[in-house]
Amino acid sequence: MPWPLTVVAAAAAVVAIVALIGGFNDVPVERLPLVEMGETHEGSEILTTVTSVYLTTVNPATGTPAEAGEQFLAVNATLENTSTRPNLWQRDTIRVVVDGAIEPEEQSDSNVEVPGNRGISFLQAGLPTDLVYLWRIKTTDATPGDDVIVGIFDRFRVTNDPVFDDTAYTSPTPVARIVTTIGAQP
């Protein structure tokens, strides 16, 4: 077989195998490895430790109250950038699923550094940083004890060429999950 046909056949085989296991970004939740609350997940550039998932009517970092009829679903996590350069990607590291309230593709409304009560633009290399991820939901959409899946996402470097945006990386990819309830402690 001529080499161009061999390359095409090999590429088609890889695509077929990936499709069989759920696609590049459509990995079924039940196939993701389980991580316990408080356990550290080692990603390609970030160590992620989720420490709590809870409901609150006040933003825990700024003290700002939620709008009438709303509350925040908050996920506290510690992230540590294990690379040697600042990392701008922390916002997409955590996502949640709460039946009837938050869909898996919804990003958090904001994430802020808890100490200092200010927004964070990047993670310094080697410096563990406490963050809170917030989703605004109706007060009737979730209560303590409801099931929640916390997804840990990662991205992977596809080129080492110097770039000034995120084109050197893949899209956010789910790599692990925590299955718990709102208000559970590690």
Average of per-residue pLDDT across 4-20: 38
Could you tell me which residue, 158 or 64, shows the higher pLDDT? 64
> What span, in angstroms and rounded, lies between the C-alpha atoms of 136 and 102?
9
91-133: per-residue pLDDT in tens? 788 989 898 888 877 878 766 766 665 666 678 899 898 888 9
pLDDT at 156 over 90: no
- Check whether 10 has a pLDDT greater than 50: no
- Report the distance separating Cα 159 and Cα 154, nearest Å: 16
Mean pLDDT of 11-21: 36
Q: Look at 90 and 74; give whichever has higher pLDDT.
A: 74
Mean pLDDT value of segment 24-35: 71
- In this predicted model, which residue has the larger pLDDT, 183 or 120? 183
Query: Of 150, 120, 113, nearest to 135 (Cα)?
Result: 150
**Average pLDDT over every residue of 5-25:** 38
Whole-number pLDDT of residue 9: 39
CA distance 158 to 182: 36
The domain at 32-181 falls in which architecture?
A: Sandwich (2.60)
Give the mean model confidence (pLDDT) for residues 132-153: 93
The mean pLDDT of 56-63, rounded to a whole number, is 88
Does the structure show a pLDDT above 50 at 172? yes
Question: Is this structure's pTM higher than 0.95?
Answer: no
Residue 148 has pLDDT above 70, yes or no: yes
Confidence of residue 27 (pLDDT cuts 50, 70, 90): low
Identify the three-state secondary structure at position 31: helix
On whether the CB atoms of residues 97 and 147 are closer than 8 A, the answer is: no
Examine the pLDDT at 155 and tell me if it is beyond 90.
no
List of long-range contacts for 38-44, beta carbons under 8 Å, 24+ apart = 38/186, 39/186, 41/152, 41/175, 41/176, 42/82, 43/93, 43/152, 43/154, 43/175, 44/154, 44/155, 44/156, 44/157
Q: How far is CA 128 from CA 52, 70, 157, 163, in A?
A: 16, 31, 21, 25
The DSSP secondary-structure symbol of 93 reads: S
How far apart are the C-alpha atoms of 73 and 174, rounded to whole Å?
20
- In this structure, what are the phi and psi dihedrals at residue 131, rounded to the nearest 5 degrees? -125, 155
Separation of alpha carbons 125 and 88, rounded Å: 11
- H-helix or E-strand containing 18? helix 3-20
Task: Return the pLDDT at 149.
Answer: 93
pLDDT at position 138? 94
